[in-house]
């Protein structure tokens, strides 16, 4: 088995950190309790382990190919996608009204992780479809919904996000694509879009492009951007596919990683204009795109966790098998599997602790999303929404940055073999490298964290979350175990560091923007580090309580002890970095911008 879904850990997070049984009390989620979640996750594991994971290496060696505007995906992708859609996996988190299963995001996130662990390139197609569904659900007219949503939710058609243009990457104000209104209410779309994931492929009968463009006469900048649905094939009144629309894939990119996923350059309107349908109102496109992007950003964070998990599993398997040198403590009097060497353990524990910490963070953030959308009390919804929105840049930014480090450690554990492509560890190192870039670079996530999530409310949300961390510290303090004491100490120091940075950010964003943004990414890393460490600290409390029960609450005691050991490792080796990051942010801003541009 090249991939085994970490079901125990996922279910632990769902039950004890995300509170799946609380989620199941929310209107609409009545049937989504722990047992349902467990059944869904087990089925999902079977599918991804058996069908999707085996295609991962082959896809890397045989990337998608382009010919005359058509893209042929990697071997087996078409068939696996058909099975994916057939089994209903695309609709997992989407409303029953459009054919979905309406399960909580907390459950869906675990499934998204498995799909991405199995095959990052494959998983990108459903990931983008999810984003398109979210945008249409929120902003589209009933007519547009009626035509597209069911087909997207069933996976029969797939979705894309068309934002980037050669001159407009992070800066969408520079978008130039045009939309000319037609007398029949449609628009003619023209322009060039680049970096369009699954912008063309052979896995589905139709592709629903969501495209940012400017309506003739619209204002400059981001306030003149509108969002359109531009299907690859026009849809007849009876729902059947009609004419080919005026959008053409002119090439696909040659990339460092995720090679099986086609990254398209799309040309709209070369033959007079692609037919587009406005989503929502004119000039509000960016706002709608953000809905889509927030869903996608969270999902990309989960991609980071997913590739880290896969890299970890591969490294563990190798470390248990590869025999080299005697252990330094003399415990084995012959060459031993390298997992017996302390530095190999250190690397594996780093990989494991990062992965489990970020998984727990993502699970808890998803639970907040579920409450924000389903709780009957408006104030509870608002609080959960604020919590979720604070976590999105952390899930995205921190989990993806750590995934690069984890994938790199995975190569290192393999030694020379790690550098040989046939081994497979290098693929994760290449694949992971996109995650801190697409759907907003880490700097863009950090801008969001600084501006919209911290400075805008004067740091109130951040401080509220820090108060929750402090409450966890209070619970930890009741434990006498050395593990709990070690975790408590680092958690307290990290929270204090975080609070000082929040004050620095909230207090200086207006007056000294350079100083604050010089530390924006370090702030994101500190915040992500703390929040993941917090969830692991909560896990220690839960695991110690379960171990104190005669039947350990039905959980595997070895798993619980490992959870505690992993949390302590995280605290000692990762969370312990927080105070230094604070210093760099609060005292080091000046040196970031001291060098004049022409001195570089």
Identify residues 187-226 at the interface with a copy of itself (CB under 8 A): 194-195
C-alpha distances in angstroms, 200 versus 79, 233, 235? 17, 12, 17
Q: Is the Cβ of residue 80 or residue 455 nearer to a copy of itself in the bound state?
A: 455
Residue 279 or 446: the one with the smaller Cβ distance to a copy of itself is: 446
Minimum CB distance to a copy of itself smaller for 153 or for 194: 194
Site for a copy of itself in 559-598 (CB under 8 A): 561-562, 565-566, 568-569, 571-573, 576-577, 579-580, 583-584, 587-588, 591-595, 597
Which of 518, 530, 537, 542 is close enough to bind a copy of itself by CB under 8 A? Answer: 518
Give me the residue label for tokens 């009626």.
146
Q: Which residues of 511-536 are buried (b: 16+ CB within 10 A; e: fewer)?
A: eeeebbbbbbbbbbbbbbbbbbbbbb
Structure tokens at 100: 């979905």
Residue from 56, 121, 164, 508 touching a copy of itself (CB under 8 A): that is: 164
Eight-class DSSP state of 119: -
Contacts of 284 (CB under 8 A, 6+ apart): 139, 226, 227
Q: Is 462 in the site for a copy of itself (CB under 8 A)?
A: no
Active site residues: 439
Least distance to a copy of itself, CB of residue 336, Å: 10
Candidate residues 341, 359, 453, 495; the one interacting with a copy of itself per rule CB under 8 A = 341
Q: Among residue numbers 112 through 131, which ones bind a copy of itself (CB under 8 A)? A: none
Span 432-461, contacts to a copy of itself by CB under 8 A:
433-434, 436-438, 441-443, 446
φ, ψ of residue 295 to 5 degrees: the values are: -60, -45
Q: Which two tokens stand for residue 116?
A: 């991405």
Do 570 and 350 meet the contact criterion of CB atoms below 8 Å apart? no
Rounded to the nearest angstrom, the gap between the alpha carbon of residue 485 and the centroid of all alpha carbons in its chain is 32
As given in the structure block, the two tokens for residue 388 are 């979720």
Nearer to a copy of itself, 194 or 227 (CB): 194
Residue 453 near residue 393, CB atoms below 8 Å = yes
Q: Per CB under 8 A, which region of 65-73, 264-272, 341-349, 389-397 contacts a copy of itself?
A: 341-349
Binder among 328, 467, 471, 477 for a copy of itself (CB under 8 A): 328
Half-sphere exposure (CA, 13 Å, Cβ side) for 140?
A: 21
Segment lying near a copy of itself (by CB under 8 A), choices 178-186, 302-310, 370-378, 509-517: 509-517
175 binds a copy of itself (CB under 8 A): no
Interface pick for a copy of itself out of 75, 169, 181, 458 (rule CB under 8 A): 169
Encoded one letter per residue, x for contact with a copy of itself by CB under 8 A and - for no contact, window 404-433 reads: x---x--xx--xx-xxxxx---x--xx--x
- How many other β-carbons are positioned within 10 Å of the β-carbon of residue 480? 8
574 in Cβ contact with 568 (< 8 Å) = no
**Could you report how far apart the first and last alpha carbons of the chain are, in Å?**
49
Judged by CB under 8 A, the chain residues 4 through 33 that form the site for a copy of itself are none
> How many residues of this chain bind a copy of itself (CB under 8 A)?
94
CB 193 within 8 A of CB 169: no
List 15, 352, 375, 495, residue binding a copy of itself (CB under 8 A):
352
193: helix, strand or coil: strand
User: Which residue among 171, 270, 321, 377 contacts a copy of itself (CB under 8 A)?
Assistant: 171
């Amino acid at each position: 088995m090249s991939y085994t879904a970490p079901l125990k850990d996922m279910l632990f997070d769902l039950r004890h950190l995300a509170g799946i049984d609380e989620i199941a009390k929310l209107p609409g989620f009545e049937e989504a309790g722990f047992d349902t979640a467990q059944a869904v996750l087990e089925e999902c594991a079977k599918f991804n382990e058996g069908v999707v994971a085996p295609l991962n290496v082959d896809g890397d060696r045989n990337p998608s190919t382009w010919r005359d505007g058509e893209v042929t995906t990697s071997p087996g992708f078409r068939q696996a996608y058909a099975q994916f859609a057939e089994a209903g996996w695309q609709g997992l988190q989407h409303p029953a009204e459009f054919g979905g299963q309406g399960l909580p995001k907390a459950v869906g996130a675990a499934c998204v992780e498995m799909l991405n662990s199995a095959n990052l390139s494959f998983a990108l197609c459903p990931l983008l479809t999810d984003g398109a569904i979210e945008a249409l659900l929120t902003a589209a007219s009933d007519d547009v919904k009626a035509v597209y949503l069911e087909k997207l939710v069933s996976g029969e058609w797939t979705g894309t996000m068309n934002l980037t243009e050669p001159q407009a990457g992070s800066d969408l104000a520079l978008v130039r694509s045009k939309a000319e209104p037609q007398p029949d209410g449609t628009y003619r779309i023209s322009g060039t879009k680049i970096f369009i994931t699954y912008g063309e492929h052979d896995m589905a009968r139709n592709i629903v492009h969501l495209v940012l463009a400017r309506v003739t006469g619209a204002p400059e900048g981001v306030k003149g951007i509108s969002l359109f649905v531009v299907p690859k094939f026009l849809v007849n009144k009876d729902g059947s596919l009609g004419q080919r629309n005026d959008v053409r894939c002119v090439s696909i990119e040659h990339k460092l990683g995720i090679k099986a996923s086609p990254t398209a350059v799309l040309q709209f309107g070369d033959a007079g204009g692609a037919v587009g349908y406005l989503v929502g109102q004119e000039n509000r496109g960016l706002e709608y795109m953000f809905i889509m992007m927030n869903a996608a950003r969270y999902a990309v964070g989960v991609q980071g966790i997913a590739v880290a998990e896969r890299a970890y599993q591969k490294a563990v398997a190798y470390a248990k098998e590869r025999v080299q040198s005697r252990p330094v403590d003399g415990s084995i009097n012959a060459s031993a599997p390298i997992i017996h060497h302390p530095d190999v353990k250190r690397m594996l524990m780093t990989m494991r602790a990062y992965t489990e910490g970020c998984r727990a963070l993502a699970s808890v953030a998803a639970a907040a999303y579920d409450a924000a959308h389903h709780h009957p009390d408006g104030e509870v919804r608002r609080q959960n929404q604020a919590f979720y929105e604070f976590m999105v840049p952390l899930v995205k930014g921190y989990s993806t940055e750590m995934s690069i480090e984890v994938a790199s450690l995975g190569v290192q554990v393999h030694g020379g073999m790690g550098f040989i492509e046939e081994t497979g560890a290098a693929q994760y190192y290449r694949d992971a490298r996109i995650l801190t870039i697409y759907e907003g670079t880490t700097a863009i996530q950090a801008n969001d964290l600084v501006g919209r999530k911290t400075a805008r409310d004067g740091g109130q949300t951040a401080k509220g979350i820090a108060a929750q961390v402090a409450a966890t510290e209070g619970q930890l303090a009741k434990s006498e175990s050395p593990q709990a004491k070690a975790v408590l100490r680092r958690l307290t120091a990290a929270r204090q560091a975080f609070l000082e940075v929040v004050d620095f950010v909230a207090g200086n964003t207006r007056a000294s923007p350079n100083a604050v943004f010089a530390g924006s990414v370090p702030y994101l890393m500190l915040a992500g580090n703390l929040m993941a460490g917090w969830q692991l600290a909560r896990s220690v409390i839960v695991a110690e309580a379960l171990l104190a029960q005669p039947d350990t609450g039905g959980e595997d005691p070895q798993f619980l002890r490992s959870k505690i050991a992993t949390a302590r490792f995280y605290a000692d080796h990762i969370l312990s970095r927080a105070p230094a990051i604070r210093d760099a942010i609060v005292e080091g801003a000046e040196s970031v911008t001291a060098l004049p541009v022409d001195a570089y």
